[in-house]
Amino acid sequence: MSPKKKTSRRTRGATATATRKRRMNKASRKKTAKRAARASTKETVRSAAKKPKGATRIIVFACSWYPSIAADNAGVVGLEYSADVRILTLACAGRLTPSLVLDAFGAGAAGVLVAACKPELCHHVNGSSICERTVAETRELAELLGIGAERVLLETFDSEKGEPFVESVESFRKRVGKLKPFVVEQ
């Protein structure tokens, strides 16, 4: 057996302090990265919601699984939907927050469609059920703010086929286009 290397108390204390500092720096970097990611997501929503004059801008928050793949497949097959529709992909529809939806309205969106997987097919187990609660809460907030609950819609998808996705987006866009415009006070 080799003898254990002796270290002085001073060395052990310095090592422990350095380790604590590294951990704190790592935690601080993670917090900063999370803040930056939130800020960039909000900026993405705001830039997507900007619309040309006379357009009915629709923002689609799509889960990265069935709905997002369905949107991609619609393009591959050659199905078209309005140029006023902007699709923003989320890792899971359960990650949606009311503030993202309200930011979209604040930036000029006329409607927000949330495209999620069917609850029994959710890859993140309970993401769809979380999304349902979030959309219900957001609809209540939209009604209270004078935006209107009918401008927020949740659609669930159980396949990667593009036709149902395009039909949902276009019917929602037409329905929102018939609504009276609302004014967001800045």
Question: Which CATH number is 94's domain given?
Answer: 3.40.50
Q: What is the pLDDT of residues 61-94, one digit of tens each?
A: 999 888 988 898 888 889 988 888 999 999 999 9
How many folded domains does the chain comprise? Answer: 1
- Does 13 fall in a domain? no
- Does 87 fall in a domain? yes
- Does 9 fall in a domain? no
**8, containing H or E segment:** none
Confidence at residue 38, expressed as pLDDT on a 0 to 100 scale: 54
- Does 118 fall in a domain? yes
Q: CA-to-CA distance for 74 and 20, rounded, in angstroms?
A: 52
- Does 149 fall in a domain? yes
Q: Which residue has better confidence, 177 or 183?
A: 177
- Does 34 fall in a domain? no
Mean pLDDT of 135-150: 94
Question: Residue 55 is part of which domain span?
Answer: 45-177
Mean pLDDT of 144-157: 93
Q: What is the pLDDT of residues 3-26, one digit of tens each?
A: 555 555 555 555 656 665 555 565
- Would you state the torsion angle of the CA atoms of residues 132, 143, 64, 80, taken in this order, to the nearest 10 degrees? 130
Q: CB 68: neighbour CB atoms within 10 A?
A: 22
State both tokens at 166: 């395009």
Q: CA-to-CA distance for 118 and 127, rounded, in angstroms?
A: 10
